[in-house]
Amino acid sequence: MTNDGTKRTDDVAGPATHPEARTEARAEDATAEMAVADGEHPSDLDGVEADLAGPAEDTALAGQADAPQDVAELSAACIRFVAMRYGIHLDFLPETLSVLDQWVRDARDELRERPEALNLVQASAGAYLGEVVRRAFGAYWITEGDHRGWRLAMATVFCAYNPVGMVREALMLSEAEGWHAHFALDPGEKEVILARLEALPEVSEDEFYAPSTRFDVVHLVVDALRERMRASGLGDVRFTVEDYAGI
């Protein structure tokens, strides 16, 4: 953290010191959120879930062909919430993450009066963020246990993290201890990646934690690791879920 309140983006999941997020509730979203939380899925989710069948051919580099059921349902809920509020349909393209940023900001301002919605908001937005990454770069979801233990494990480089934890930090504007928003990397690559991230410009705390910024950082990390793999003659190597056992 610098003296002017900005933070360097090399601290990808580091602590923040902003005041606790301001919040106020919006009743029109409360009913929909709690219905999905209770396991009810309105009929207009059917078309959204069809979009979750898998990545397009031009973005399916490696990894899972389809999202796991729980991720698909949460991503569909996120798409529905955003459509209800802004009239915009999210389609898993990276360009839509700026809309997700705004939804997270608005949700941050509402959770004080409805703190019970935190788990649903972070899980649905985190699932959507993870799906954008999976479709762009190729990855595997590891969804055993509760949301705290979820991981998105990249298929073309060795890198794993929890998109739900990333969104939790965006909502809290602070580090979410135990939610694994940090990158898990090969120990031999950490210094190189930190050096790359250290060179990035400083950003405000809100931008630092925003889902779109996290996607940009993932993109940078993937590109840097792929460059090193190709230089070492390992450009054709792909990682599987088994490679991430024990992370």
Q: pLDDT of 224-235, one tens digit each?
A: 999 999 999 999
Q: What is the pLDDT of residue 43?
A: 34
Q: What is the pLDDT of residue 64?
A: 78
Distances in Å between the Cα of 48 and the Cα atoms of 38, 65, 152, 157, 188 are 19, 17, 22, 30, 41
Q: For residue 70, is it within any domain?
A: yes
CA distance 108 to 182: 21
CA distance 26 to 1: 33
Q: For residue 120, is it within any domain?
A: yes
Distances in Å between the Cα of 112 and the Cα atoms of 6, 42, 100, 107 are 25, 26, 20, 9
Q: For residue 3, is it within any domain?
A: no
Q: Number of folded domains in the chain?
A: 1
The answer to whether residue 204 scores a pLDDT higher than 60 is yes
CB-CB contact of 67 with 132 (8 Å): no
Per-residue pLDDT tens over the stretch 32-63: 443 333 333 333 334 433 333 333 333 345 77
State which residues form the domain around 126: 27-244
CA 171 to mean position of chain CA atoms: 12
Distances in Å between the Cα of 205 and the Cα atoms of 161, 171, 220 are 20, 11, 19
pLDDT band at 24, cuts 50/70/90?
very low
Number of H helices, E strands in the chain: 9, 4
Q: For residue 11, is it within any domain?
A: no
Per-residue pLDDT tens over the stretch 125-173: 999 999 999 999 999 999 999 999 999 999 999 999 999 999 999 999 9
CB-CB contact of 173 with 21 (8 Å): yes
CA 23 to mean position of chain CA atoms: 22
Q: For residue 220, is it within any domain?
A: yes
The answer to whether residue 180 scores a pLDDT higher than 50 is yes
Q: What is the pLDDT of residue 14?
A: 32
Q: For residue 96, is it within any domain?
A: yes
Q: For residue 17, is it within any domain?
A: no
Q: For residue 174, is it within any domain?
A: yes
Q: What is the pLDDT of residue 112?
A: 87
